[in-house]
Structure 1
């Protein structure tokens, strides 16, 4: 028997496949359903569905609900902490590949914005524009123009 954690408007309930199979569901159209449970009738309408994210927006008896469904796999992934998002953004800039520094577009103490161009690296006969990974202030520039760098070498530190 499969168990699901269903979030309805951020309130979690646990249901199993046996409980779901007990529901008397009649499909009226592609979006409309009649549901009978314990002699109570519910009119349900599917507003939208995102099957990749396992979410639904439904209207039941005129009330709107946002539903997220977590199967056993989703529950295990959550329990293991694999859904935790690392919110710490990388600030330092490392060389993505070996190459030659053609130009440095920032100076120490300069404020930079995420995506702003900070240096030009020549690698494999191509000029690569390296950008700031996040907002900050350039604290140290560890390279100079015409320096040869290795992959992973720290180029610029941003505080």
Structure 2
């Protein structure tokens, strides 16, 4: 299942099944043909459309797509993006995450950062033990640690704010 936003105006839920698309619960027959040079032709409700991807930004999962000469900015979110967002670890469009939340209940084994410390995307922030497994929580963005709300040995609940970043 994908969540798609077009021009910051239209929101759709999209999934593929048996040669058709499910668009907001409505089954839509699909006839798509790939043409050369990344161009695509498709039929939708008996109308013909030509499409091409003009640009892509893989970091924020957006694309600019030209359909029959008109440009559309499209943002796509899959089930993993939804899960990360629910855990407080979603990637923002150019903005850093404001806080890191516990993705599950657990025990804080170690904290690898201090307040005021600058971190880079991918830096190790803390280790959370859950279901007898150690989970390394990493920074989803570059930023500065504003406040650490936990200490080593704390038991935390799902979605509890662990670390807050400077906005």
Query: What is the TM-score normalised by the length of structure 1?
Result: 0.52
Aligned-partner Cα distance in 2 for 1:89–1:132: 9
Shift of residue 82, structure 1, vs aligned partner = 7.3
How far, CA to CA, are the matches of 2:116 and 2:96 in structure 1? 20
Partner secondary structure for residue 54 of structure 1: strand
Residue 158 of structure 1 is matched in structure 2 by: 165
Structure 2 Cα separation of the partners of residues 127 and 121 of structure 1 = 6
Where does residue 25 of structure 1 map in the other structure? none
Q: Deviations over 1:12-32 (max 9, x none)?
A: xxxxxxxxxxxxxxxxxxxxx
Q: Identify which of 67, 70, 77 aligns with 1:69.
A: 67
Q: Is the 8 A contact 1:47 1:56 kept in 2?
A: no
5+ long unaligned stretches in structure 1? 1-45, 58-66
Residue in structure 2 matched with residue 145 of structure 1 by the alignment: 152
User: Whole-Å Cα distance in 2 between the matches of residues 56 and 151 of structure 1?
Assistant: 39
Total equivalences in the alignment: 99
Aligned equivalents of 2:39, 2:156: Cα separation in 1 = 46
Give the whole-Å Cα distance in 1 for the aligned partners of 2:74 and 2:37. Answer: 27
* Cα-to-partner distance string for 1:75-122 (whole Å, 9 max, x where unaligned): 9xx6xx974996233231000000000000001111101110010000
The structure 2 residue matched to 1:113, chosen from 94, 112, 120, is 120
- Which secondary structure does the structure 1 equivalent of 2:110 belong to? strand
**1:128 matched to 2:125:** no
Alignment gaps of 5+ in structure 2: 1-34, 42-49, 55-64, 78-91
C-alpha distance in 1, partners of 2:97/2:108?
Answer: 21
* Structure 2 Cα separation of the partners of residues 123 and 104 of structure 1: 15
Question: What's the TM-score once normalised by structure 2's chain length?
Answer: 0.49
Give 1 or 2 for the bigger CA radius of gyration.
Answer: 1
How large is the RMSD of aligned CA atoms in angstroms? 3.6
Matches within 5 A, 1:1-159: 47-51=36-40, 54-55=51-52, 68-69=66-67, 83=75, 87=93, 88-159=95-166
Q: Is the 8 A contact 2:105 2:130 kept in 1?
A: yes
